Structure 1
Amino acid sequence: MTDTDNGNDADDDIVDELPDEIPDESEGDEELSADDVQDVLLYTLDWSVQSLLDRIGNTFDINPAFQRRDAWNGERKSQYIESLMLGLPVPQVVLAEDKASKRFIVLDGKQRLITMKQFGKPDDNFAAFKLRKLKFLHQLNGKKFSQIENSIENGEFAESFLNQPVRTIVVRNWRKTAVLYEIFVRLNRGSLPLSPQELRQALYPGEFSTWINKRSASSVEIQAARRLKREDFRMRDAELLLRGVAFMDSIETYDGDLREFLNRMCERGNSDWSKFSERYEKYGDDVERSIRRAGVIFGTRNTYLRYIGDEGGQSGFVRRFNVAVFDLMTMVLASPEVEDSVIEEHKDLLQDAFKNLCIEDSRFEDSIKSTTKTPSATAYRVIAFGEKFSEITGVEVSATRRAKELLANTQAR
């Protein structure tokens, strides 16, 4: 059964987090062959915790900004440390060796490595924590590593922690980042699904990527759009900001491979950050303005949802976050050509126009429901709502023109 809602309650507080209507939107469409993965080499290393502590944040490239998105609570961290102290089995860490940069990309085990570093060798980027709720070593509750290490009674546990071997699998000889994404997805299948944005941050480190991470984590508007109460350790808020920035920056070049499109945005943003940081900051402002305007039109409950009218006994908005609707609303509503007062004046007509497109235009419905990632679908949904927006407000928006350029480029291929 489809969850729906009919209301328009602009003054409501942020509602509970919504599931996604369009799954795996961030996964790319690049075809991989058996040859692509058969060339990959694996080797195994058993590094001591002491050796790992020296590498974390150095050759093991874990962006310190990730600490804002710490996925483990104090109890889970403490139990992991206790396992290392007692020599209990712990999961292996999986790394990918990047020969070009002479660093290692963490594919699986980031939280475990962060926990080791925070406990055993804290610094300004990896804040220390005290052990709590240990199951066996009760005498260590409330203590930091430095206190245990300097203790006559318990120093042996600090030594055991540092000497504990951790099995590490290293992936070498990979030629396409798509191979790493495939490994990443398979490692996490069957457990809590993780956003590819986390891997993207590791693959494309730099000032732009750090800005995406920090700005999304502190943005009230982006948290509200994604129905989050705080920064998301799965980095869905970061990916949402990245999507908005990427389409604003170069929607005309979108070729249907969304993952690669976002990857290229990170590469470009990192390389030209010193020249164009003000432009990217403006894009961030534009994304936040579009979110506020969407709230005015649809209310906080119904932003970025698909409307189904009266379908199969259900009616109203489908209560699933629809990222395709986010993309089109962000492009159109961010338009600087229109004033906020115009949005307020025409909010009811704009909402009705969107509803009518959803139930009367089958091509538009497809573009936000099934064929969402193709360039033609991306262009059409922006054009369709952009033209309705201009009819209602009397303001021509650049998003419509740019989407038509994308459509022309697609047809010319």
Structure 2
Amino acid sequence: MVDSASAPPPEPQGPPEPAVEFTDTGASTGIEAEDIGEAGRMPFDPELIDVTPRSPTIDLVLQRLKRGLIDLQPDFQRRSGIWNDTRQSRLIESLLLRIALPTLYVAEEPDESWSVVDGVQRLTSIVRFVKPEAAGLKPLRLQNLEYLTQYDDAGFEDLPGRMQTRILETELSVLLIRKGTPEEARFNIFVRINTGGLPLSQQELRHALIPGRARTFLAELAESEEFLEATAYSVSPSRMAERELCLRFLAFWMTPPERYVTQDFDGFLRRTMHAINALSDTELSTLRRRFRVAMVGCDLLFGDQAFRKQFRGITRRYPINKALFEVQAVTVARCAPHDLPTLLDRTGTLEARFKELMDDPAFYDAISSGTGDADKVNYRFQSMKDLFHEVLHA
């Protein structure tokens, strides 16, 4: 029998375990689910919405792809949930059986190219089978068919001519959001239709609807060793959560928190992607260096607890909190070079003061609910700035 007098005191429970975001397969992304609050969306004129139904044949769609007028966004495929060969083969079987496919939703860009938002997996399956070289994809050979088993292991060229023609002449149902439709309206439309299966995350929508170098730049930052080490390799890339973290750092680095006055946090992040698209190579290099400095600094100062809630007397590690990521990373990035050695010598004090800050109900609220509210954004950034100042001058 254990002597209760000598047993260690139980660990404080602290706040309830936060909910997390999930991948396509139901696993944790390693990111705390966020309550961003009510979005103060920019108004738009409904009369400017221009959505046109189209019925192009697969052959015409492939011609657009060959001319670079369809953006399939290869890196948009959810890495853990991409359709396997069997599922892609059975979609081809549906075409051969003359079973209509669900409607594709695409957005028209200024150059009249199409960005595919809903239907990437379906189009990718068709392209892999019929013309994989048009998109640099691995050819698909049919497998595990349910009805047309005679075509198992067949490639497109192995099909009888009439079956090849049947595929190429299949008409696809496409809803095209024309280029004159305001961006806010385009996002609103896709949010409304984004209800089937596992809905796209906000970052997946931004990625689909805002083409340009911001896509590859965010991917580069998210795959950097500095980011992976600072986040303890704990963020799943399947829903682009890691790219959103990088985008949020860039947003508040390029637009200081005190100048954030909108309630439309999603619009704020979209505008940042457009701003990144307009930067020169030199400006991107400067951003890249600053991001890496922030990641290395956070890793050194906070260790494997970087970007996570911490509470006095509690040792378990919480998931990464998006609001803490942006506030810690930007605050570290804004430190003078000569301050970092001092902070490194006082990491114990930094940790203790941070846990004290987590006891502040207003700060806890600012990183937990309504995180897109301008007052809460400013409060959490000012609180972290004050904390660093106190540690430096302790």
Do the structures match in fold with TM over 0.5? yes
Asked if residue 281 in structure 1 is aligned to residue 288 in structure 2, the reply is yes
- Post-superposition shift, 1:264? 2.1
Shift in alpha-carbon separation, 1:32–1:226, aligned structure 2, 3 A: farther
Q: Distance in 2 between matches of 1:115 and 1:64?
A: 12
Cα distance, 1:127 vs. partner?
1.1
Alpha-carbon distance change, 129 to 346 in structure 1, aligned in 2, over 3 angstroms:
farther
Alignment of 1:1-400 (within 5 A): 2-3=16-17, 17-18=29-30, 20-23=32-35, 28-32=39-43, 36-37=45-46, 39-56=48-65, 58-66=68-76, 69=79, 71-98=82-109, 100-123=110-133, 125-130=135-140, 131-145=142-156, 149=157, 151=158, 154-172=160-178, 175-217=181-223, 219=225, 221-222=227-228, 225=231, 228=234, 231-232=237-238, 234-251=239-256, 252-256=258-262, 257-293=264-300, 295-296=302-303, 299=304, 302-307=305-310, 319-334=318-333, 335=335, 337=337, 342-359=342-359, 361-394=360-393
8 Å contact kept, 1:86–1:160: no
User: 1:117-156: CA deviations, max 9, x gaps?
Assistant: 23222237431233333323334444443xxx1x3x6454
Distance 1:51 1:220 in 2: 44
Q: How many angstroms does 1:372 deviate by?
A: 1.9
SS at match of 1:95: strand
The structural deviation recorded for 1:217 is 4.0
Q: Quick one: distance in 2 between partners of 1:39 and 1:97?
A: 14
Shift of 1:224: 6.7
| Number of equivalences | 367
- Report the 3-state secondary structure (helix = DSSP H, G, I; strand = E; otherwise coil) of the residue aligned with 1:43: strand
- Residue 371 of structure 2 contacts residue 377 of structure 2 at CA under 8 Å; is this kept in 1? yes
Structure 1 residues 134 and 343, CA gap change in structure 2 (3 angstroms): farther
> Does the Cα contact within 8 Å between 1:92 and 1:168 map onto a contact in 2?
yes
Judged with a 3 Å threshold, the aligned counterparts in structure 2 of structure 1 residues 284 and 127 are, in CA distance, closer, same or farther, namely farther
- CA deviation digits over 1:148-205, x for unaligned, max 9? x1x3x64543332222211111223754212111111122225313122233234332
Q: CA deviation at 1:295?
A: 4.8
Deviates more, 1:120-129 or 1:108-117: 120-129
Residue 7 of structure 1 is matched in structure 2 by none
Q: Which runs of 5+ in 2 are unaligned?
A: 1-14, 19-26
Give the whole-Å Cα distance in 1 for the aligned partners of 2:291 and 2:317: 28
Structure 1 Cα separation of the partners of residues 29 and 265 of structure 2 = 24
- Deviation, 1:84, is 1.9
Shift of 1:246: 1.8
CA distance change for structure 1 residues 139 and 342 in 2, over 3 Å: closer, same or farther? farther
Please say if residues 231 and 237 of structure 1, whose CA atoms lie closer than 8 Å, have aligned partners that are also in contact. yes
Contact 2:49 2:182 in 1 (8 A): no
TM-score (normalised: structure 1) = 0.76
Call closer, same or farther: CA 1:157–1:353 in 2, change over 3 Å: farther
**How much is the aligned-residue C-alpha RMSD, in angstroms?**
3.4
TM-score (norm 2): 0.79
Q: What is the distance in 1 between the residues matched to 2:93 and 2:267?
A: 41
Distance 1:43 1:307, change over 3 A: same
Deviation at 1:330, TM superposition (A): 0.8
Q: Which residue of 1 aligns with 2:6?
A: none
Contact 1:241–1:287 (8 Å) recurs in 2: no
In 2, distance between residues paired with 1:379 and 1:137?
61
Deviation at 1:268, TM superposition (A): 2.0
**Kept in 2: contact 1:208–1:273 (CA 8 A):** no
Change (3 A) 1:237 1:223: farther
Whichever residue aligns with residue 191 of structure 2, its letter is: V
TM-superposed deviation, 1:243: 1.1
Letter in 2 for 1:273: S
